[in-house]
A and B are shown apart, each in its own frame.
Chain A
């Protein structure tokens, strides 16, 4: 589903973000990307959505080589990818319903489809009774649920999560992780960049560890730190 083949990425000022990264993530996998700040986790995710371009190497996403994709095809690639972030990135002046509906509207879905899908997905994330609220009236956990609903409402093949629990307390974090696991069970490939040791250790999923842009560990059913370290 996602394949990095000897990918290099350097930012201006010769800051090396990724160095000769080669990984292969299969359809339906749940993968944690871990590592200290500045290790290249966010760059890794940005290359998948083509927000950033690799300097060299090949990146394959959902069967397409991202580097050779013309700009006009990028939006269609992104429709296969849902994204959630630490800061939620919701539109504060729109209601919960509108925030989720927005993701369908911009892809040109008909109104009746939007009306049927949005309540369904909000029920799934446990916010069926808060559709008319604005993000400012919700807790952090609830806002992140709205973001998950927006990311999943298009039924993407891939869900990228960049520190989605960074602003949440442990109980809310557990709720969000259950939600992501459920989405993964529907067949969506989930790639999550995180610093959250407890959840990585508890879930025992595949772990890719980055350090200064280099993959230093790729371990099935891994934990946050090296076993035995």
Chain B
């Protein structure tokens, strides 16, 4: 027998309104746990992307002394050529003009920095991609000793540190999300139990006059589903907003490795959908557990 929608709407809405305090508590807990889950999932995507980037192409910047002689520069160039392609995949020379153009792009939001810098003050460098990413540290150590070299930089160290921090943060958040999720399920179960208790007379009359189990149970199950969905919707908005804020923050801050840690809107949207599905499932399962335990013919 199909349940009439007017009955379902009336009963589910009535239950939610009657238990408003517990309903709000369940929704808030659900929203918090699902936000944590959404955050973890987005962080996971960011870290995975960063790891791929890190493994796929680490760059090595060999900055030259401003007063390095042409002979020293040529010596470095020849050594780099001799190492290609066994140790070095590719290499390019970044002159003062190119370096200044890059600098302007990087600090486009900071006019004070742009004012004090001129092309003649920019260091020249060789920008190389090692054949094997894991050898980048060894190559850096080797070239930093060469005459005419001012400094050798590679982003691997920073990224490694970032990845380590993010991995720790991700694991901690995952544990917290799991804990809060269990709390959310318990709250949904408790809310539904209270709703069943508040309507025990009505439920007794329903049984008496021959209502089926589903007729009695479905409004309570929908109540849990609605709580899960509303909590998930809140979590979805928070997660999506947080992702946008994070993206704009890393995008404008030259000190952060913005590109690798960026998660696209599309990916964030998929994560949001997953969060909503989990919320609905948690709400429905919690209420199903409660009605199964407390409502039977």
Contact = CB atoms under 8 A, between A and B. Distances in A.
Interface string A71-95: 1101111110001000001010000
Contacts of A108: 1, 3-4, 215
Contacts of B204: 89
Contacts, number: 52
A91 B210 CA distance: 16
Contacts of B208: 49, 78, 83, 89
B202 interface: yes
B212 interface: yes
Contact of A91 (B1, B4, B205, B212): B205
Interface residues of B, number: 19
Contacts of A78: 207-210
B210 A89 contact: no
A150 B201 contact: no
A150 B209 contact: yes
Contact of A89 (B7, B205, B212, B213): B205
A75 B201 contact: no
A229 interface: no
Interface in B227-265: none
Nearest to B6: A111
Contacts of A154: 209-210
B296 A75 contact: no
A171 interface: no
A133 B35 CA distance: 48
Contact of A107 (B202, B205, B207, B211): B211
Given A105-B7, A108-B1, A72 B212 contact: yes
Given A79-B210, A91-B201, A154-B210, 19 more contacts: A71-B213, A72-B213, A74-B297, A75-B210, A75-B212, A75-B213, A77-B210, A78-B208, A89-B201, A89-B208, A102-B209, A105-B4, A105-B7, A106-B206, A106-B211, A106-B215, A108-B4, A108-B215, A150-B209
